[in-house]
Structure 1
Amino acid sequence: MFKIDQYAYANKLLSVHPGEKFAFALITMAVGLIFDTINTSMIIIIMMSGATIILAGVRWRLYVKLLSLPLGFLIAGVAAIAVSFSYHDVDVVSGFTVGRFLVGVQPGDLYLALRLFFKALGAVSCLYFLALTTPMTDIIIILRKLKAPPLFVELMSLIYRFIFVLLETAGRIHLSQASRCGYFSFASTYRSLGALLSNLFIRTYWRSRISFTALLSRGYTGSINVLEPRYSVSYKNILAIAAVEALLIVLGLHGRGII
């Protein structure tokens, strides 16, 4: 089981209604995407990180490690926006010339890149809050109650379950190869990795067929129904979420100069 799933099933906010956590994460992410100012995005990052670490009890080392995973993609993406090429001399924060080209970072492009970086990181922090505090089964139940497309929900459920089948199969193959010194040298590692990847698809496909046959034998008709845990709705939490979102909207409007 992933660390994310371990915390999803064993965190301090597990007893909170999943609809409240779902609404809090998605509304906050929507506010951050609409009012994409740096101040609003930074407040969202701090708020969602604090809720995940302090309220849910997630270890901060794990959270920082998870948050650092998308940094490489974000930095590469915003670098392409921040760095520009020009024939003419323009105001740049830092740059150099290559022949007739001026390669540098203009103030407007730098601000746009930073705004995009913090906006994306704020959205990631919202998704991490939902993933680390809410089990996948509860998320699927909420999606069904929201009348999400049944095909989308069913594919989401099946893909989630087969991720663990894939990892378990890969782990068994790797253990078998390692016990036979399959990763002793670079050449053997290369051969073993190729054999693992080629056999992984075949074995996973075989196990998926067995699982599908088992579902059909139990009356599967295109929908996997699970027992729904009973949660109590907290009006105190709803009021707190509404107050936080209203404050974020006010800060976003103020950052845009509307109020």
Structure 2
Amino acid sequence: MRTLDDIALVSPLRYKNTTLKIILVLIGLLAGLFSSSPILPLFIAVCMIAATLILGKIPVGMYLKLFLSVLGFAVVSAFILAFFAYGDGGETLWSINLFGWVISITTGSANLALLVFARSANGLACLFFLSMTTPMLELFSYFKRISFLDIFMELVMLIYRYIFVFLALLLNIQSAQAMRFGYSNFKRSIHSVGLLVGSLFVQTLEQGDRLYLSMNSRCYDGKLPYYDAKYKIMFSDALLSLLFVASIAAVFYYTRGFQFF
């Protein structure tokens, strides 16, 4: 089971400047958020997806599987908004009388649904670009440079580490139960799930104690050392970034106020 960290470790964009990537992602997120037209968020999403797949050399099948599985929630939300959010009103595009209750899609609700979907796709594309091209350890070390985030990032790192510890324990226990026909019928499945939860709780507590002892035995003083990778900003990277920002400004200017309906 490959994680986003495994993908980021082999991406060529891993060796690009972390600050530059974070700035580009923030610009993309904020520009899409403040845009009143869905054109700009969709444009940024396409650029981020292309950069992730082409420059980051991420397998297309793996990327689409992850991206579309999360984007499905945005599709459902946009569909619901199209029916139940009237936005600025406008003309009725489609309506149906269901048991005396009129359900309709207006131009205002359709534009609002499309805008929400575009912003969601933009946010996902930007975050996937960052997470698939930058290992989490480098992000942690970057944010630790900000003094007031020091303790917060320590907690985030430990939580992130324990997510995979929990998953490993869960898969091991579940595999052992399945080999002993623990899920052969509904009654055994319920019993196995109860044992799984209890065993997982006890073992995670034991893992926490072992981690605390190991950290203290290595002279832990309240701060975890991080490898702070520093990569120079190349001229080609700066030029490509400027072109990206300039294109965002141009699309924002020429598509402001544009609506599909």
Gaps of 5+ in 2: none
For residue 8 of structure 2, what is the aligned residue in structure 1?
A: 8
Could you say what secondary structure the match of 1:158 adopts? helix
CA positional deviation for 1:238: 2.2
Deviation larger for 204-213 or 94-103: 94-103
| 1:154 is the counterpart of 2:149 | no
For residue 31 of structure 2, what is the aligned residue in structure 1?
A: 31
For residue 21 of structure 2, what is the aligned residue in structure 1?
A: 21
Could you say what secondary structure the match of 2:84 adopts? strand
CA positional deviation for 1:230: 4.0
Q: 1:148 to 1:35 in 2, by over 3 A?
A: farther
2-side partners of 1:10 and 1:254: how far apart?
A: 38
Deviation larger for 99-108 or 55-64: 99-108
AA at the equivalent of 2:183: Y
User: Quick check: 1:35–1:253 contact (8 Å CA) kept in 2?
Assistant: no
1-side partners of 2:256 and 2:227: how far apart?
A: 46
Between the two proteins, the alignment pairs up a number of residues equal to 255
2-side partners of 1:54 and 1:85: how far apart?
A: 38
2-side partners of 1:242 and 1:148: how far apart?
A: 30
1-side partners of 2:59 and 2:85: how far apart?
A: 43
Q: 1:165 to 1:130 in 2, by over 3 A?
A: same
2-side partners of 1:150 and 1:142: how far apart?
A: 10
Q: Deviations over 1:106-149 (max 9, x none)?
A: 11101101111111111111000101110011111221234452
For residue 80 of structure 2, what is the aligned residue in structure 1?
A: 80
Could you say what secondary structure the match of 2:92 adopts? coil
Could you say what secondary structure the match of 1:70 adopts? helix
2-side partners of 1:96 and 1:147: how far apart?
A: 57
For residue 239 of structure 2, what is the aligned residue in structure 1?
A: 239
CA positional deviation for 1:105: 1.1
Identical amino acids, percent of aligned pairs = 27
Q: 1:235 to 1:147 in 2, by over 3 A?
A: farther
2-side partners of 1:251 and 1:154: how far apart?
A: 40
User: Quick check: 1:96–1:102 contact (8 Å CA) kept in 2?
Assistant: yes
| 1:217 is the counterpart of 2:250 | no
User: Quick check: 1:36–1:252 contact (8 Å CA) kept in 2?
Assistant: no
For residue 111 of structure 1, what is the aligned residue in structure 2?
A: 111
AA at the equivalent of 1:209: D
Deviation larger for 222-231 or 121-130: 222-231
Which structure 1 residue ranges, 4+ long, deviate > 4 Å from structure 2? none
2-side partners of 1:201 and 1:95: how far apart?
A: 52
So what's the TM-score if we normalise by structure 1?
0.90
Gaps of 5+ in 1: none
2-side partners of 1:135 and 1:148: how far apart?
A: 22
So what's the TM-score if we normalise by structure 2?
0.89
CA positional deviation for 1:85: 8.4
Q: Deviations over 1:205-242 (max 9, x none)?
A: 22112212221222223321122234222243123212
User: Quick check: 1:35–1:249 contact (8 Å CA) kept in 2?
Assistant: no
AA at the equivalent of 1:178: A
For residue 181 of structure 1, what is the aligned residue in structure 2?
A: 181
User: Quick check: 1:177–1:192 contact (8 Å CA) kept in 2?
Assistant: yes
1-side partners of 2:91 and 2:73: how far apart?
A: 27
Could you say what secondary structure the match of 2:164 adopts? helix
For residue 102 of structure 2, what is the aligned residue in structure 1?
A: 102
